[in-house]
Structure 1
Amino acid sequence: MSQALEKVDELPGVHARISTTKLGKAKAVISKIALVALAISVSTYFVKRPFGIPIGKAFEDATTSADLCPQVDELVPEKNGVIWESLQDTYSTEEFKARAVDWLGGAVRIPCVFRLQFRVVCHLNLELTIVNTYGLLYVWKGSDSTLKPLLLTAHQDVVPVLNTTIDEWQHPPFSGYFDGEKIWGRGSCDDKSGLIGIMSAIEVMLEGGFKPTRTVVIASGFDEEGASSLATTMLERFGENGFTMLVDEGSGYGESYGRVIAVPGIGEKGSLNVRVKVTSPGGHSSLPPPHTSIGMLAELIVQYEKNPFEVHLTRGSPTYKSAQCMAQHAPGISPSLKKHMLLAEHCDGALRAAEQELFMNRAFMSLVGTTQAIDIVEGGVKVNALPEQAWAIVNHRISTESSVSATKVRDIELLESLASNFNLSYTAFGAHISDVDAPSYGTLTLSDAFQGGLEPAPVTPSGTDAAPFQLLSGTIKATYNSHRNIPGSDTIIVSPGIMSGNTDTRFYWKLTDHIFRYGHQEGAGGGSLPSGVHTVNEAISANNFVEIIRFFTTLILNVDESSLP
């Protein structure tokens, strides 16, 4: 091995090799003169690159040719191949599309929380347990009870529709209207398409005579990601780590930088809602102080927005892995970003250079770091009365590399100087920050706005030895290809990624280590959610909904015949 490649061992990174022992032994036998000679040799071999990155040609060539985002072949069911082929033919017909439109349109027409009574076929073959009034737990029993079940989840209800936005809808929000191309209405994407897609796949498989070897469990929550009661029931029935893998709603696939990329979420940010409350003496508005409670609160809010969280791309994180996949497989990535990202695994300078370019995309930067958004503000009761209190709520989405406690510490420190300037007694999350006995003009209080914070989710394994991720990847490719009647395993790239929001999976961490947030919805930007989710004019193409049914069919059949425990 050349001296240059020996030097690479000392560069930091997830896969950096341990070289300190080798170096220690070398120092014991090599004289100072020899070390100087070695340093001179290395310095002449390496070439200085932008950002001060010393990169030897052998190192650069080896690194840029490394497979940092390995892909699997499409995974088509073999043992269950006959029924799979039969159902692919069925799903390609206009008759089935009409049937699928009827299923989803009917579900959309039931506003908000609903208990959808699926077709008789499902009720005759699946065991249903009602949990906490509206939660639905379906169990499709397999013939081999030693195999861990597959868990598929979705929520039944939808985000409310505000009266002020109804006139902006192209079609009424609960119409389930089909215009020949799209099914319109609240829940068509989020997340009735997921739930109806699962149940439609099961119904058609039952009609085809399929009997599973591995049990399949469907957990349908309510209260828009409020599945804690379902989690409790499943823990009691199946135990911790009782499922082989879990697929919940999430991102999908779409073209990004010239390549179709699917992005299963292998992680989820944490969250914290911080109430920032200011109190001060009241009185008549004709005799105002220099700063009212509202004025001081405004300064505090400005302090937040002037000081966003420091954000860095971290090796091994879901967003880092996603960037690696784009760099290796997307032709539209700039040459500089491609090179820096491929070298970033072992070189800090390259990582910072890649980060700088990636963060020009504000949305990607938001996925990487902890964010803050001031979403609610209130204060004052009357124009001639000084406000005795004012408060705002700051919503944080916490980076997968951070924590609730770190976020609280940062917020406390951020507002400390202003609390002192305004002479406010400062209390944060139950602890006195300022001197409790010191005289003050008013108070500043930070607290959990609702039910405390949520830590970032455990990151699901996604390497080449992570069988569930590899199975999901092959399933995505088989679905994509069969829906378009095209061959090949490079027609779509599968990349690990992260969910921008939170899903029911936050209640399910104890059920399995292999949790994926993926719905196989077609969207712009490599798995971004379709337009209309949580706002007006939510719609999904009927063609994509049929593909979602095809995805769940392929997934169930692949997991059923897999060697997963």
Structure 2
Amino acid sequence: MLSLSEKSSRVSSVRTRRSPTFVCGALIAAILLSIQISGYLPVFWVFFGQQLSVKGSCPQVDALLPTQNAHVWERTRAQMATGVFKARAVDWLAGAVRIPTESYDNMQAVGVDPRWDVFADFHAYLAGAFPLVHERLTLRKINTYGLWYEWTGSDAALQPVLLAAHQDVVPVEPSTVSQWAYPPYSGYFDGHRIWGRGSSDDKNGLIGVLSAVEVLLENGFAPTRTVVLALGFDEEVSGLEGAGELAKALLETYGADAFAFVVDEGAGMVETFGIVAAFPGVAEKGYLDVVVRVAAPGGHSSVPPDHTSIGILAALLVEYEENPYALQLSRESTPYHTFQCIAEYGLTVPAAVKRIVADSATSDTALRALEGILGKDPLYRSQIGTTTAVDVVHGGVKSNALPEQAYAVVNHRILAESSVGAVKEHDTALLLLLATRFNLTYTAFGVPISSEAGAPARGALALGEMYALEPAPVTLTAGAEARAYRLLSGSIKATYDTRVGADAGGETVAVVPSTMSGNTDTRYYWGLSRHIFRYGHGNSAGVGPDEMLNGIHTVNESIVADDFVEIVRFYVTLVLNADEAGGL
């Protein structure tokens, strides 16, 4: 096996190709393109920046090709390069798409709500489509529909690896069916793309993993290191019944920090600034839904007070939007490392930006300048600060009756360096003056803040927690403890470099650590490993600019068939590399 030591390696230059991407990759691409606008650059830095070189700020590893398992890798590589295999892969994924495993916010418990029953049909499909997987691997079902496969290795001393995905999909809005190019559960293949709900979120990942295991079994591979697959069934509505229960079972069986690494859905590859870059998510923002509730006396609307409960609520929501959280770009943060990598390898990153990024490693003035540049773009601003979004408002029951209750739900996505507690404290302080102005008693997250001291209050304000999740622990990407990240990076590069049509000895993809703004099933797996990656591999070759978005969570969800084959190849490469990496 090639060394996993950190090295500098050539990064692929790009002129005409485009790649499909998950949300995080598209986000970063849009951010970086917007920063080219000259008005975003402090003029003084164009002329007086101290450094230009950013080399060494984003170490890369070489492509990692299996050596002990080279014969298996070569056979599977040849097999997966054929049209016969592509047709088979299309059938695998299309068949999975045809089963509408929708999950809904209001679903009741498994065994009570009949809408879960479709997952039994999906399991029957998987058993028929992947016979060797179901013959050779041990399958346990957790909470009826959670799937836990174990491919037991020959060396119990090696930590297992965990590959995760989810079976469920977001529902198709009936009123949008006519907008689909092909029926949303047809799994139609037009010779280029596979169409249908789940084709790019996340049945491509789930079927990709199972396809890889089936192919490896067909080629006689028997693992040394145990491989575990965990397939939840309600990720789109919280993951509590699926991954939440799977995590409990895995923790009880294997123990805390028992896995060498975890790979679940996440960002893929994108072309930006003249390079192809892969964006594995090594961090995930936290989450807090705050219920802002105002109560005030009712009555007939012909004799209204100066401010109704809805009017007061409106003022409170304006206060939220006019006072966003301060940006916080630190040298230790993942977004900072993301931009360091782009500045180092991006062929068309403006020279002034390269200067600022280089200087920011040691200069606080440059760091604040970089923060200011990034903060001018709403997409990147969301990566370097806690965000606020007013998502739900409700109040009133009749046009001639004063509303006695009004409430809103305010969503926060929490910066990795912050916490749920810090956000609660911020929100509590933010609304205190308005609570006083409107003469409201004020309770925040169960704690009385102000009461009817001196005079009766005209109403009540209460802040409550609807749902909270701390920011995820950040996975290491450098140093002696980052062996799993280097193995993942080398596997990404090896898959990319050996894709069909790749030039032998050509330049490669840059692997760039990134942050997921959305939350995945990995929220339940924090106790299983300190090395968690959110990554969905994609092939950047031959994909047009109109195909960069795959209709995730909207109409016309689809995936390029060649891209799906590359996902299967990535998992084959990752499993083989992990199997012979004794130092994980």
Tell whether the structures are fold-level matches, with TM greater than 0.5.
yes
Does residue 334 of structure 2 align to residue 315 of structure 1? no
Return the offset for 1:185.
1.2
Report the counterpart of residue 224 of structure 2 in structure 1: 213
Letter in 1 for 2:527: K
Return the offset for 1:306.
1.2
Q: Secondary structure of the equivalent of 1:516? A: strand
Q: Secondary structure of the equivalent of 1:402? A: coil
Does residue 132 of structure 2 align to residue 121 of structure 1? yes
Does residue 121 of structure 2 align to residue 104 of structure 1? no
CA distance in 2, matches of 1:480, 1:347: 36
Q: Secondary structure of the equivalent of 2:498? A: helix
CA distance in 2, matches of 1:102, 1:53: 58
CA distance in 1, matches of 2:47, 2:246: 52
Match of 1:521 among 519, 538, 544: 538
Aligned residues with identical type, % of pairs: 52
Q: Secondary structure of the equivalent of 2:528? A: coil
**C-alpha contact (below 8 Å) 2:188/2:195 kept by paired residues:** yes
| 1:342-361 matches, cutoff 5 A | 342-361=358-377
**C-alpha contact (below 8 Å) 1:505/1:515 kept by paired residues:** yes
Return the offset for 1:531.
3.7
**C-alpha contact (below 8 Å) 1:270/1:454 kept by paired residues:** yes
Gaps of 5+ in 1: 1-48
| 1:304-343 matches, cutoff 5 A | 304-343=320-359
Give aligned pairs, total: 509
Does residue 59 of structure 2 align to residue 50 of structure 1? no
Report the counterpart of residue 410 of structure 2 in structure 1: 394
| 1:153-552 matches, cutoff 5 A | 153-224=164-235, 225-226=239-240, 227-437=243-453, 438-450=455-467, 453-465=468-480, 466-484=482-500, 485-488=502-505, 490-521=507-538, 530-552=549-571
Show CA shifts across 1:60-100 (max 9, x none).
47xx2540001111011111111111111111111111111
CA distance in 2, matches of 1:525, 1:412: 48
CA distance in 2, matches of 1:525, 1:159: 26
Report the counterpart of residue 31 of structure 1 in structure 2: none
Letter in 2 for 1:83: V
Return the offset for 1:529.
8.6
Letter in 2 for 1:335: A
CA distance in 2, matches of 1:509, 1:474: 24
Show CA shifts across 1:133-156 (max 9, x none).
110000001111110101000111
**C-alpha contact (below 8 Å) 1:109/1:176 kept by paired residues:** yes
Report the counterpart of residue 30 of structure 2 in structure 1: none
Q: Secondary structure of the equivalent of 2:534? A: strand
Q: Secondary structure of the equivalent of 2:536? A: strand
Q: Secondary structure of the equivalent of 2:432? A: helix
Change (3 A) 1:381 1:469: same
CA distance in 2, matches of 1:300, 1:493: 45
Report the counterpart of residue 30 of structure 1 in structure 2: none
Show CA shifts across 1:523-564 (max 9, x none).
8999x9944112222111111000000000000000001123
**C-alpha contact (below 8 Å) 1:189/1:530 kept by paired residues:** no
Change (3 A) 1:65 1:274: closer
Letter in 2 for 1:139: E
Change (3 A) 1:489 1:424: farther
CA distance in 1, matches of 2:364, 2:47: 8
**C-alpha contact (below 8 Å) 1:322/1:495 kept by paired residues:** yes
Report the counterpart of residue 67 of structure 2 in structure 1: 78
Q: State the superposition RMSD in angstroms.
A: 2.1
**C-alpha contact (below 8 Å) 2:293/2:405 kept by paired residues:** yes
Match of 2:153 among 128, 142, 147: 142
Q: Secondary structure of the equivalent of 2:344? A: helix
**C-alpha contact (below 8 Å) 2:224/2:579 kept by paired residues:** yes
CA distance in 1, matches of 2:582, 2:463: 51
Q: Secondary structure of the equivalent of 2:460? A: strand
CA distance in 2, matches of 1:252, 1:493: 12
Letter in 1 for 2:367: L
Return the offset for 1:264.
0.5
**C-alpha contact (below 8 Å) 1:154/1:195 kept by paired residues:** yes
Show CA shifts across 1:236-268 (max 9, x none).
110011111110100000101111100100010
**C-alpha contact (below 8 Å) 2:54/2:344 kept by paired residues:** no
CA distance in 1, matches of 2:550, 2:389: 21
Q: Secondary structure of the equivalent of 2:76? A: helix
Q: Could you tell me the TM-score, scaled by structure 2's length?
A: 0.84
Q: Secondary structure of the equivalent of 1:498? A: strand
Letter in 2 for 1:248: D
CA distance in 2, matches of 1:160, 1:529: 22
CA distance in 2, matches of 1:343, 1:525: 37
Return the offset for 1:278.
0.7
| 1:88-99 matches, cutoff 5 A | 88-99=77-88
Q: Secondary structure of the equivalent of 1:390? A: strand
Does residue 554 of structure 2 align to residue 559 of structure 1? no
Letter in 2 for 1:509: W
CA distance in 1, matches of 2:142, 2:506: 41
CA distance in 1, matches of 2:149, 2:548: 27
Show CA shifts across 1:463-498 (max 9, x none).
143111111111001101111333347421001111
CA distance in 2, matches of 1:515, 1:346: 29
Structure label with greater radius of gyration: 1
Return the offset for 1:105.
0.7
**C-alpha contact (below 8 Å) 2:550/2:559 kept by paired residues:** no
Letter in 2 for 1:330: G
Letter in 2 for 1:132: N
**C-alpha contact (below 8 Å) 2:539/2:566 kept by paired residues:** no
Does residue 76 of structure 2 align to residue 87 of structure 1? yes
CA distance in 2, matches of 1:530, 1:268: 21
Gaps of 5+ in 2: 1-42, 103-118
Return the offset for 1:405.
0.7
Return the offset for 1:51.
6.4
**C-alpha contact (below 8 Å) 2:55/2:344 kept by paired residues:** no
Report the counterpart of residue 26 of structure 2 in structure 1: none
Show CA shifts across 1:304-326 (max 9, x none).
11111111211111111100000
Letter in 2 for 1:458: P
**Stretch of structure 1 that moved more, 261-270 or 381-390:** 381-390
Return the offset for 1:436.
4.8
**Stretch of structure 1 that moved more, 515-524 or 505-514:** 515-524
Return the offset for 1:351.
0.9
CA distance in 2, matches of 1:75, 1:525: 28
Change (3 A) 1:458 1:439: same
